[in-house]
């Protein structure tokens, strides 16, 4: 359907409450499809940014389902046919040799955070080529909404090296390179030019890798994490939020991480990234070796249980190939391994059958079941299915949102393991203290800090994370903890304006010795969170 946009002239005046209310009426209108809401909001971002960002920050929880998951999946699939502006930077393989000059020609030069994809593995939807720009733009919005990065300081990037998706190559509306996806040395040369150009142009920018293919994602993180301040959200961000959810679930259950057996359906970058962070937590907090920690995590891929008897395993799976009997199916693995935690990263809708979840409930008083695959159509189960199969005893977190359930007069709210709880705070904190590197310890710190923010009474209602409506408060606390730790460990440096900004924010100029380091950092991060009510939004 067609939705009338605000007149362009409206962007030249200050937004009032009625402007934002009108936007929210459209967001809440059940007769308007999610993709039409996405189109409306993206056009408003361009034509009336003051209203858009004021709405985004004040109604973040309500707007994000239409600007990010689950709607962004369809938006990326149809990206080139949608009537929306593109405000990110396309770097095409055919532009090789000119990446640095293209960056230097951008209207916004004070960039703190760069979100980059090559479009190869967008959510659970596969190779969407240049349509992956939608995911970089969506993540960029989350940096502003959740952690207060100024919109003018974020750059979404899509590196277009072609696509292996024949439907896109045959689609007349597709605007990406119409060529097979580059691989091998040719692909590596394009990525190398991008990294070198970014390092020259903005040496202190934080780089977030987003939705690269499994094998590529691990390679790039390993190759570049010490050369440029970067992280991979699919590997490390997903691991961080999942570990936070698991630690919250264990608080509700009253058990310890060292007593868990975690079974993953799916052994790609997300799953093995989670497993590795669990192993790191067991090493750093429970005195195990990394190898001992990994033995608490088991993986099933398309060929069955990842185990020592299998040959030709991909490199990222080998560390989790334990000396256990092979199991061909998830049902067999659940019965054999008797896991306490079941995590889905398979993009296989319905893979967590009622029978499997009933088995989990028989073995565990409070079975922990996390179907993390996005979008909703790829989720291994719904909250209702898990609730019914476990007689309401499940401790649940999903990648996409599901509605609450009222049972016997009590309302249970499913947790959404949304990476937006952690990656914006991690990226912004690293930018504020000019971090050299984002180590695994940073993600463990963020997970533990987030897990401790949920009130115990909320845990009883299934809420493993703080309410997303409090995301800016959550992000501020996380940013302070992360930046403080980075500076204390030598990974980052205290900003030159730190004392003056903290003094102004706290009203304690000359008396800062009475404040803890953490309190100082909370004041500093709060001062650097973009506020659309006091700052004019940029035209992108």
210: nearest Cα among 190, 183, 232, 227: 232
* DSSP state, residue 432: H
Catalytic one of 40, 53, 68, 174: 68
3-state secondary structure (DSSP) of residue 370: strand
Using the structure block, give the residue that is written with the tokens 């914006």. Answer: 424
How far apart, in whole angstroms, are the C-alpha atoms of residue 291 and residue 238?
21
113: nearest Cα among 241, 230, 194: 230
Q: Are 419 and 241 in contact (CB under 8 A)?
A: yes
534: nearest Cα among 6, 87, 143, 57: 57
366: nearest Cα among 480, 260, 252, 456: 252
Q: Which residues are CB-contacts of 261 (< 8 A; sequence separation ≥ 6)? A: 296, 298, 337, 338, 339, 340, 341
How far apart, in whole angstroms, are the C-alpha atoms of residue 372 and residue 378?
9
Surface-to-core class of residue 456, CB atoms within 10 Å of its CB (0-12 exposed, 13-18 middle, 19+ buried): exposed
Distances (CA, A) of 487 to 8, 73, 162, 483: 45, 37, 41, 6
Q: Does 38 qualify as catalytic in the annotation?
A: no
Q: Does 68 qualify as catalytic in the annotation?
A: yes
357: nearest Cα among 381, 378, 375: 381
115: nearest Cα among 427, 329, 345, 412: 427
Catalytic one of 139, 187, 378, 421: 139
Q: Report CA dihedral (427, 432, 438, 441) to the nearest 10 degrees.
A: -100
Question: In DSSP terms, which residues pair with 396 in a beta bridge?
Answer: 369
Catalytically active residues are: 68, 139
């Amino acid at each position: 359907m067609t939705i009338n946009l605000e007149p362009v002239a409206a962007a030249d005046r200050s937004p009032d409450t009625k402007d934002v209310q009108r936007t929210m009426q459209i967001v809440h209108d059940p007769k308007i499809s999610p993709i039409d809401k996405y189109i409306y909001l993206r056009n408003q971002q361009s034509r009336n940014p003051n209203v858009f960002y004021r709405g985004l920050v004040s109604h973040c929880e309500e707007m994000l389902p239409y600007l990010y998951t689950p709607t962004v999946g369809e938006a990326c699939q149809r990206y080139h046919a949608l009537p929306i502006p593109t405000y990110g930077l396309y770097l095409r393989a055919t532009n090789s040799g000119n990446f640095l000059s293209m960056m230097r020609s951008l209207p916004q030069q004070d960039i703190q955070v760069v979100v980059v994809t090559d479009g190869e593995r967008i959510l659970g939807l596969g190779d969407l080529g240049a349509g992956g720009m939608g995911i970089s733009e969506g993540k960029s919005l989350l940096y502003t909404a959740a952690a207060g990065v100024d919109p003018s300081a974020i750059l979404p990037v899509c590196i277009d090296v072609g696509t292996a998706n024949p439907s896109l190559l045959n689609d007349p509306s597709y605007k990406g390179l119409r060529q097979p996806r580059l691989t091998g040395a040719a692909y590596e040369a394009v990525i190398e030019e991008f990294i070198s150009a970014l390092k020259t142009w903005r040496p202190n920018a934080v780089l977030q890798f987003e939705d690269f293919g499994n094998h590529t994602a691990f390679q790039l993180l390993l190759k570049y994490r010490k050369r440029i301040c970067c992280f991979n959200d699919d590997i490390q961000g997903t691991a961080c939020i999942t570990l936070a959810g698991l630690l919250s679930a264990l608080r509700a259950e009253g058990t310890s991480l060292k007593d868990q057996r975690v079974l993953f359906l799916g052994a790609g970058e997300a799953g093995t990234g989670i497993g590795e962070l669990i192993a790191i937590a067991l090493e750093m907090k429970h005195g195990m070796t990394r190898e001992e920690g990994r033995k608490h995590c088991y993986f099933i891929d398309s060929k069955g249980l990842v185990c020592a008897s299998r040959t030709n395993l991909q490199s990222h799976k080998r560390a989790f190939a334990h000396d256990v009997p092979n199991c061909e199916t998830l049902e067999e693995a659940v019965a054999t391994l008797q896991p306490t935690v079941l995590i889905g990263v398979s993009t296989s809708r319905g893979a967590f059958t009622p029978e499997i979840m009933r088995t989990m409930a028989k073995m565990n008083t409070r079975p922990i079941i996390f179907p993390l695959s996005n979008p909703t159509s790829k989720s291994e189960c719904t909250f209702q299915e898990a609730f019914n199969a476990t007689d309401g005893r499940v401790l649940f977190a999903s990648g996409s949102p599901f509605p609450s359930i009222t049972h016997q007069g009590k309302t249970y709210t499913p947790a959404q393991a949304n990476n937006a709880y952690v990656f914006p705070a991690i990226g912004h904190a690293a930018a504020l203290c000019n971090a050299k590197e984002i180590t695994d310890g940073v993600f463990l710190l963020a997970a533990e800090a987030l897990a401790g923010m949920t009130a115990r009474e909320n845990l009883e209602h299934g809420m493993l994370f703080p309410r997303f409506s409090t995301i800016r408060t959550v992000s501020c606390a996380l940013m302070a903890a992360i930046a403080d730790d980075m500076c204390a460990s030598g990974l980052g440096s205290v900003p030159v304006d730190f004392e003056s900004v903290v003094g102004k924010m706290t009203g304690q100029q000359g008396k800062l010795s009475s404040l803890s380091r953490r309190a100082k950092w909370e004041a500093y991060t709060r001062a650097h969170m973009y506020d659309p009510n006091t700052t004019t939004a940029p035209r992108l």
